[in-house]
């Protein structure tokens, strides 16, 4: 008992407040002996003489402890103290047991027993249920022997703290037990706990609370989730250590676009800030030239007029369009032909970008407008995507006006229709004429001659006109009244065959001014063929052709059928020179048949401009077209001057096919830009009532205009009109467009008496046929205007358009008279096939009638081409003298008189009936006032008499005079052409 008293003092003096207080969140306590304010109820075995419970009051609180000190008892002590049932968390497979205890030094006991021990044992037992007071030692497994670090001698109180781990717990709960084997030990505190890693957010990933450690695990792998508005490619991971610490986070969560990290959350960017992608970056302030963004913005939108290139980063500011290049200059390249260097300086404002490129385009401009140069000029290093500020342009033709445009583009130009363009117009001129300097005979035989010549300078496209003829006398060598042959050559040599042996020929060669250089001097020579029989070897070179000449461009054998003046017989002259222009320009661009587009609407969009119907005001019906009425109207486009227009409408109830056919005329017209082609202003297609809007031609259709002004225009005026029509037709033929319905009714006249070709309804394109012709097996053919081959086998070509042009010439010169008068189509075809042709209209200049006859050559290859026609008409207009000679006129065939028509053969019953028949009724009063009231009196009248009664217009005067002439002629015939 002495010992027991000692023991009590020993243990009651312990400062209990110092016991361990678990760290919050890191430990989960399952059992805490010292915190229990009541008796613990632990099981002692044996119940007597083993462990004992003591209690003490510390700071007013009651504390319990257990002690045992059987050091002087017999050996073989085996005293057990077992805890109550400790419930376990399923994840807590491993618990910590922290013991605070005091062990007495065995030596401190007088006559220390040999059995005294200084250690005790810790045991554990798994169990699914609380087994109450039943206790079996063999259910326990030993966890550890607990030895104190310091033992307490007499008067000392050294508290030891030891922690042990109990592992592999698998049942719902467990018991701990303390075995004493003969020590003097007091157990002050037993604390059982497990550790946890608390729920945490690391690097924007949230990890759940996790029990530390596990079966043989020091680190527990834990998967987490990114916080709201954060993402990660891989699932974030982290490890929870045995000690309840998080270590080694793996994977990175980042805030998504429009959000940035603010502590452990992703917050939307503030207004005026943006974040374009998933990153750990902060939101950035909106860059230059952007509008302030809204909250959570991924990008800041550009201000108006500023753009971002597709490759621009959202962090880059928006950029403006570049201004146009400046200081555009063209310099010729010395000692070259047709080459210039174009240079410019970068735009003053690059729009804040460094990706500027330049794009050069070129147009050739003349009176009829501008067309793209396309591949007719070459650029070095190229024409697009230039980064340098100069380009070498070659293959320029002299005297052509070129307009070069340089456009500055940057990565944002694609977003605007505005073009930063500077243009400059230039043309190359030769001041010295291209001259033929020498001409020589290279070879000759009895029927051929080879000639060559030299020129004063090298040019890109030289062309030569060679004329030759037999020398048959003195005097002018190539004057009117002679017959000669004209060759247009591209080489400076020629071989001419089929000449007469031992005959002198005159040759004249002149450089043709294709480059508009001053007209060259003429070189003339006389060469004579040999007298010998033709040498087989030599002549074979000629290959039986009339002419061989390398790259011969064109051979025009012009036999000037000069009907020499029939001295004394007539005062009228024969036809004047028929001149064929050497000009043969390549087509500038080719017409595209709208029917080649699968969807005809594509052609309409491509070639026409859409007009809003509210901009079109219809004023008055002026005609009836194939598809509906034609109105005069006004086109009011905002920002443009009001324009008088013709508005073609599509009548209601049309089919889709009719609509397409109607609009196809616009698709065709829209491709043409020429002074003498009716100009398309635009179309209305997007609204119910489709319309075609063209320029307004005040004087309407030419046939009617001519009839209304019969005899009121001079030959020069009429030829001027024809010249305009031929220029329009030249333009169409250059574009490989065949009109197929050229007639005066399809020519429109404006207030300046300018004629323009219209009516493109029947048109067809020339396809890739080597002859450039197109045949078709359908369509109506206007017989009187159509060439025989087009009627016979539908061979419509520009040559058949030339035939029709001949008919238009006749219509014009006859003031709108119907070609072939009242003959039936069948009679017309028969007559044409029998080689009859329309006679010259009254008062028609001989040269003009000769040109008509050329247009009506049966062999279409012999007909002049439109460039030739333009050139001939130009020449006639330039020398009014050439129009003076009037073609032979036969009133019997040119004026249809009832008395000669054979309808009843009866003479006119009155003067007014006669005047009406020749469409001169307006002069009835003049005749009656002058007392001319019977046909007998009429037949007595002379030209002078007619003028005296007041018929002043030369055309009318002639018509009346010729009619009287015809009435007098007893040999009037029914046959129009048998003259
Ligand atoms: P179209 O359908 O082209 O044959 O036109 C029928 C008629 O409308 C023509 O004969 C002209 O009298 C008149 N017309 C057509 N287009 C115009 C225009 N641009 N200017 C004046 N009148 C026109």
**Residue positions forming the annotated binding site:** 622-630, 648
Q: pLDDT by residue (tens digit) across 740-775?
A: 899 999 999 999 889 999 988 644 333 322 222 233
Q: pLDDT by residue (tens digit) across 205-216?
A: 999 988 886 555
Q: Ligand 1 in contact with 748 (CB < 6 A)? A: yes
Domain check: are 480 and 602 in the same one? Answer: no
Q: pLDDT by residue (tens digit) across 957-979?
A: 877 887 887 777 633 332 233 22
Which ligand 1 atom lies nearest to the CA of residue 696? 20
Identify the residue whose tokens are 């042709």.
837
Per-residue pLDDT, 390: 94
Domain check: are 234 and 361 in the same one? Answer: no
Pocket test for ligand 1, best of 616, 628, 634, 701 (most atoms within 8 A of CB): 701
36 within a domain of the structure (yes/no): yes
Domain check: are 732 and 854 in the same one? Answer: yes
Per-residue pLDDT, 220: 83
62's CB contacts (< 8 A; 6+ apart) are 37, 55, 56
Domain check: are 446 and 518 in the same one? Answer: yes
Catalytic residue list contains 741: yes
Which ligand 1 atom lies nearest to the CA of residue 625? 2
Q: pLDDT by residue (tens digit) across 442-489?
A: 888 888 888 888 876 655 456 777 888 887 765 556 665 566 777 777
558 within a domain of the structure (yes/no): no
Nearest to 421 by CA among 411, 430, 409: 409
- Cβ contact 703:784 at 8 Å: no
How many other C-beta atoms are found inside a 10 Å radius of the C-beta of residue 925? Answer: 12
Of 10-19, 191-200, 669-678, 701-710, the one with minimum mean pLDDT is: 10-19
- Cβ contact 780:770 at 8 Å: no
Domain check: are 455 and 516 in the same one? Answer: yes
Q: Ligand 1 in contact with 868 (CB < 6 A)? A: no
Domain check: are 181 and 149 in the same one? Answer: yes
Domain check: are 601 and 684 in the same one? Answer: yes
Q: Ligand 1 in contact with 703 (CB < 6 A)? A: no
Q: What is the mean pLDDT of residues 905-932?
A: 83
Per-residue pLDDT, 325: 95
Ligand 1 centroid to residue 623 C-alpha, Å:
6
Q: Ligand 1 in contact with 644 (CB < 6 A)? A: no
Residue nearest atom 1 of ligand 1, based on CA coordinates? 625
Q: pLDDT by residue (tens digit) across 684-722?
A: 998 888 999 999 999 999 999 999 998 888 999 999 999
Q: Ligand 1 in contact with 697 (CB < 6 A)? A: yes
Per-residue pLDDT, 217: 62
Q: What is the mean pLDDT of residues 886-903?
A: 52
Question: pLDDT higher for 427 or 933?
Answer: 933
Q: pLDDT by residue (tens digit) across 87-114?
A: 988 888 889 999 999 999 988 887 656 7
Residue nearest atom 13 of ligand 1, based on CA coordinates? 623
Residue nearest atom 5 of ligand 1, based on CA coordinates? 625
**Residue positions forming the annotated binding site for ATP:** 622-630, 648
Q: What is the mean pLDDT of residues 354-374?
A: 87
Q: How far apart are CA 821 and CA 809, in angstroms?
A: 15
DSSP string, 118-177: S-EEEEEEEESS--TT---GGG-EEEEEE--SS-B-TT----EEEEEEE----SSEEEEE
Per-residue pLDDT, 821: 83
Q: What is the mean pLDDT of residues 764-788?
A: 53
Per-residue pLDDT, 520: 53
- Secondary structure E strands in 793-939: 795-796
Q: What is the mean pLDDT of residues 923-927?
A: 91
Q: Ligand 1 in contact with 759 (CB < 6 A)? A: yes
Per-residue pLDDT, 473: 66
Ligand 1 centroid to residue 691 C-alpha, Å:
13
Residue nearest atom 6 of ligand 1, based on CA coordinates? 625
CATH assignment of the domain containing 641: 3.30.200.20
Residue nearest atom 3 of ligand 1, based on CA coordinates? 759
Q: pLDDT by residue (tens digit) across 594-609?
A: 888 888 888 898 889 9
Q: What are phi and psi of 657, to 5 degrees?
A: -65, -45
Bridge partners for 223 per DSSP: 237
Per-residue pLDDT, 74: 76
Which ligand 1 atom lies nearest to the CA of residue 758? 3
Domain check: are 707 and 729 in the same one? Answer: yes
Alpha-helical regions (H) of 202-283? none
Q: What are phi and psi of 112, to 5 degrees?
A: -50, 135
Domain check: are 389 and 448 in the same one? Answer: no
Domain check: are 18 and 34 in the same one? Answer: yes
Of 78-82, 88-92, 795-799, 922-926, the one with minimum mean pLDDT is: 88-92
Question: pLDDT higher for 129 or 568?
Answer: 129
Range from 22-31, 291-300, 930-939 that averages highest in pLDDT: 291-300
Q: pLDDT by residue (tens digit) across 159-170?
A: 999 999 998 899
48 within a domain of the structure (yes/no): yes
Per-residue pLDDT, 459: 56
Residue nearest atom 17 of ligand 1, based on CA coordinates? 646
Ligand 1 centroid to residue 749 C-alpha, Å:
10
**pLDDT class for 657, splitting at 50, 70, 90?**
confident
Pocket test for ligand 1, best of 646, 648, 662, 665 (most atoms within 8 A of CB): 646
**pLDDT class for 902, splitting at 50, 70, 90?**
very low
901 within a domain of the structure (yes/no): no
Q: What angle do CA 461, 462, 463 make, to 5 degrees?
A: 120
Q: Ligand 1 in contact with 724 (CB < 6 A)? A: no
Q: What is the mean pLDDT of residues 536-551?
A: 34
Per-residue pLDDT, 584: 30
Which ligand 1 atom lies nearest to the CA of residue 627? 2
Domain check: are 744 and 793 in the same one? Answer: yes
pLDDT at 379 over 60: yes
50 within a domain of the structure (yes/no): yes
476 within a domain of the structure (yes/no): yes
Which ligand 1 atom lies nearest to the CA of residue 746? 4
Which ligand 1 atom lies nearest to the CA of residue 694? 19
Return the half-sphere exposure (C-beta side, CA atoms, 13 A cut-off) of residue 718. 29
Q: Residue 869 corresponds to which tokens in the numbers above?
A: 């026609």
Q: Which residues of 733-759 are buried (b: 16+ CB within 10 A; e: fewer)?
A: bbbbbbbbbbbbbbbbbbeebbbbbbb
Q: Ligand 1 in contact with 744 (CB < 6 A)? A: no
CATH assignment of the domain containing 940: 1.10.150.50
Distance (Å) of CA 603 to CA 211, 256, 679, 681: 77, 49, 17, 16
Domain check: are 735 and 870 in the same one? Answer: yes
Per-residue pLDDT, 701: 94
Q: Ligand 1 in contact with 125 (CB < 6 A)? A: no
Beginning with the edge strand found earlier in the chain, give each strand of the sheet holding 401-409 in spatial order: 369-372, 357-366, 401-409, 420-426
461 within a domain of the structure (yes/no): yes
Per-residue pLDDT, 29: 92
**pLDDT class for 540, splitting at 50, 70, 90?**
very low
Q: Ligand 1 in contact with 630 (CB < 6 A)? A: yes
pLDDT at 776 over 70: no
Q: How far apart are CA 220 and CA 244, in angstroms?
A: 10
Q: pLDDT by residue (tens digit) across 35-45?
A: 766 677 899 99
Ligand 1 centroid to residue 24 C-alpha, Å:
101
Q: Ligand 1 in contact with 622 (CB < 6 A)? A: yes
Q: Ligand 1 in contact with 694 (CB < 6 A)? A: yes
Number of domains forming the structure of the chain: 7
Per-residue pLDDT, 457: 62
Which residue, of 255, 278, 298, is where some domain finishes?
A: 255
- Cβ contact 550:493 at 8 Å: yes
Ligand 1 centroid to residue 743 C-alpha, Å:
13
- Secondary structure E strands in 385-475: 390-394, 401-409, 420-426, 436-444, 449-455, 464-470
Q: Ligand 1 in contact with 649 (CB < 6 A)? A: no
Query: What's the chain's average pLDDT?
Result: 80
Nearest to 397 by CA among 375, 376, 380, 371: 376
Per-residue pLDDT, 880: 85
Per-residue pLDDT, 37: 61
Pocket test for ligand 1, best of 643, 676, 678, 758 (most atoms within 8 A of CB): 758
Q: What is the DSSP letter of 652?
A: T
Q: pLDDT by residue (tens digit) across 223-252?
A: 999 999 999 998 999 988 888 888 888 888
Residue nearest atom 23 of ligand 1, based on CA coordinates? 700
pTM of the model: 0.42
Give me the domain span that covers residue 21.
Answer: 2-197
Q: To the nearest whole percent, how much of the chain has pLDDT over 90?
A: 43
Q: Ligand 1 in contact with 696 (CB < 6 A)? A: yes
Which residue, of 197, 225, 241, is where some domain finishes?
A: 197
**pLDDT class for 430, splitting at 50, 70, 90?**
low
Ligand 1 centroid to residue 630 C-alpha, Å:
6
Pocket test for ligand 1, best of 700, 705, 741 (most atoms within 8 A of CB): 700
Q: How far apart are CA 622 and CA 644, in angstroms?
A: 13
Q: What pairing do the DSSP bridges indicate for beta strands 449-455 and 401-409?
A: unpaired
pLDDT at 894 over 60: no
Which residue, of 181, 197, 213, is where some domain finishes?
A: 197
546 within a domain of the structure (yes/no): no
Residue nearest atom 8 of ligand 1, based on CA coordinates? 623
Q: Ligand 1 in contact with 623 (CB < 6 A)? A: yes
Of 261-270, 774-783, 807-816, the one with minimum mean pLDDT is: 774-783
Q: Which of 180, 741, 843, 868 is catalytic?
A: 741
CATH assignment of the domain containing 142: 2.60.120.260
Residue nearest atom 22 of ligand 1, based on CA coordinates? 700
Per-residue pLDDT, 813: 95
Which ligand 1 atom lies nearest to the CA of residue 697? 20
Residue nearest atom 2 of ligand 1, based on CA coordinates? 625
């Amino acid at each position: 008992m002495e010992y027991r008293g000692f023991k009590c003092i020993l243990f009651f003096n312990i400062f209990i407040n110092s016991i361990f207080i678990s760290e919050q969140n890191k430990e989960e306590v399952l059992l805490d002996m010292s915190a229990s304010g009541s008796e613990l109820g632990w099981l002692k075995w044996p119940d007597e003489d083993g462990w004992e419970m003591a209690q003490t009051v510390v700071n007013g609180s009651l504390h319990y402890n257990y002690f045992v000190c059987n050091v002087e008892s017999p050996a073989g002590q085996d005293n057990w103290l077992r805890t109550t049932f400790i419930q376990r968390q399923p994840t807590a497979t491993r618990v910590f047991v922290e013991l605070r205890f005091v062990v007495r030094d065995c030596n401190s006991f007088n006559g220390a027993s040999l059995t005294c021990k200084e250690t005790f044992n810790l045991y554990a037992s798994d169990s699914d249920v609380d087994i109450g007071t039943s206790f079996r030692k063999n259910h326990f497994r030993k966890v550890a022997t607990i030895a104190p670090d310091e033992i307490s001698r007499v008067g000392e109180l050294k508290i030891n703290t030891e922690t042990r781990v109990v592992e592999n717990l698998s049942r719902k709960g467990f018991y701990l037990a303390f075995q004493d084997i003969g020590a003097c030990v007091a157990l002050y505190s037993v604390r059982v706990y497990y550790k946890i890693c608390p729920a945490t957010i690391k690097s924007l990933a949230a990890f759940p609370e996790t029990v530390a450690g596990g079966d043989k695990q020091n680190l527990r792998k834990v998967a987490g989730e990114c916080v709201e508005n954060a993402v990660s490619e891989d699932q974030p991971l982290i490890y929870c250590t045995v000690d309840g610490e998080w270590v080694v986070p793996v994977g990175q969560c980042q805030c998504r676009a429009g959000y940035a990290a603010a502590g452990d959350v992703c917050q939307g960017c503030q207004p005026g800030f943006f974040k374009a992608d998933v990153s750990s970056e902060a939101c950035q302030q909106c860059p230059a030239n952007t509008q302030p963004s809204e909250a959570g913005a991924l990008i800041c939108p550009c201000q108006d007029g500023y753009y971002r290139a597709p490759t621009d980063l959202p962090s880059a500011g928006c950029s403006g369009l570049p201004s146009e290049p400046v200081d555009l200059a063209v310099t010729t390249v010395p000692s070259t032909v047709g080459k210039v260097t174009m240079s410019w300086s970068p735009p003053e404002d690059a729009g804040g970008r460094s990706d500027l490129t330049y794009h050069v385009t070129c147009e050739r401009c003349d009176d009829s407008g501008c067309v793209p140069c396309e591949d007719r000029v070459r650029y070095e290093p190229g024409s697009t995507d230039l980064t340098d500020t100069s380009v070498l342009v070659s293959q320029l033709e002299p005297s052509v006006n070129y307009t070069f445009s340089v456009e500055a583009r940057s990565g944002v130009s694609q977003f605007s229709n505005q073009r930063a363009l500077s243009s400059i117009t230039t043309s190359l001129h030769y001041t010295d004429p291209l001259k033929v300097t020498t001409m020589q005979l290279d070879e000759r035989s009895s029927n051929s001659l080879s000639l060559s010549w030299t020129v004063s300078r090298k040019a890109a496209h030289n062309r030569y006109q060679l004329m030759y003829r037999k020398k048959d006398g003195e005097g002018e060598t190539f004057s009117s009244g002679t017959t000669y042959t004209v060759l247009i050559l591209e080489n400076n040599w020629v071989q001419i065959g089929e000449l007469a042996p031992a005959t002198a020929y005159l040759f004249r060669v002149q450089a043709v001014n294709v480059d508009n250089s001053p007209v060259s001097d003429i070189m003339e020579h006389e060469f004579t063929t040999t007298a010998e029989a033709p040498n087989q070897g030599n002549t074979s070179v000629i290959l039986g052709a009339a002419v061989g000449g390398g790259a011969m461009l064109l051979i025009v054998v012009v036999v000037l059928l000069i009907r020499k003046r029939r001295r004394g017989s007539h005062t009228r002259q024969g036809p004047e020179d028929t001149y064929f222009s050497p000009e043969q320009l390549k087509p500038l661009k080719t017409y595209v048949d709208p029917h080649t587009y699968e969807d005809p609407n594509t052609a309409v969009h491509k070639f026409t401009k859409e007009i809003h119907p509210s901009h079109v005001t219809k004023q008055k019906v002026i005609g009836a077209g194939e598809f509906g009425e034609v109105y005069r109207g006004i086109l009011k486009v905002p920002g443009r001057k009001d324009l008088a227009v013709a508005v073609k409408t599509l009548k209601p109830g049309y089919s889709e096919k009719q609509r397409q056919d109607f609009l196809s005329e616009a698709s065709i017209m829209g491709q043409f830009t020429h002074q003498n082609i009716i100009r398309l202003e635009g179309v209305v297609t997007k609204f119910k009532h489709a319309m075609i809007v063209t320029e307004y031609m005040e004087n309407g259709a030419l046939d009617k205009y001519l009839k209304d002004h019969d005899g009121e225009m001079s030959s020069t005026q009429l030829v001027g009109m024809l010249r305009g029509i031929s220029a329009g037709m030249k333009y169409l033929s250059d574009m490989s467009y065949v009109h197929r319905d050229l007639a005066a009714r399809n020519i429109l006249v404006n207030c300046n008496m300018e004629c323009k070709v219209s009516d493109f309804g029947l048109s067809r394109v020339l396809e890739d046929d080597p002859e450039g012709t197109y045949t078709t097996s359908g369509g109506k053919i206007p017989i009187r205007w159509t060439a025989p081959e087009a009627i016979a086998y539908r061979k419509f070509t520009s040559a058949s358009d030339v035939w029709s042009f001949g008919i238009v010439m006749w219509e014009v010169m006859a003031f709108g008279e119907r070609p072939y008068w009242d003959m039936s189509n069948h009679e017309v075809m028969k007559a044409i096939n029998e080689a009859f042709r329309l006679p010259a209209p009254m008062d028609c200049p001989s040269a003009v009638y000769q040109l008509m006859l050329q247009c009506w050559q049966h062999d279409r290859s012999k007909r002049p081409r439109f460039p030739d026609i333009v050139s001939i008409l130009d020449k006639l207009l330039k020398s009014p003298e050439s129009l003076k000679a009037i073609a032979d006129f036969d009133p019997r065939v040119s004026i249809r008189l009832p008395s000669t028509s054979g309808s009843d053969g009866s003479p006119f019953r009155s003067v007014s009936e006669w005047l009406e028949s020749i469409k001169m009724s307006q002069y009835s009063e003049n005749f009656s006032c002058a007392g001319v009231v019977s046909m007998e009196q009429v037949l007595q009248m002379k030209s002078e008499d007619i003028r005296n009664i007041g018929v002043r217009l030369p055309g009318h005067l002639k018509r009346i005079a010729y009619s009287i002439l015809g009435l007098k002629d007893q040999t009037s015939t029914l046959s129009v052409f048998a003259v």
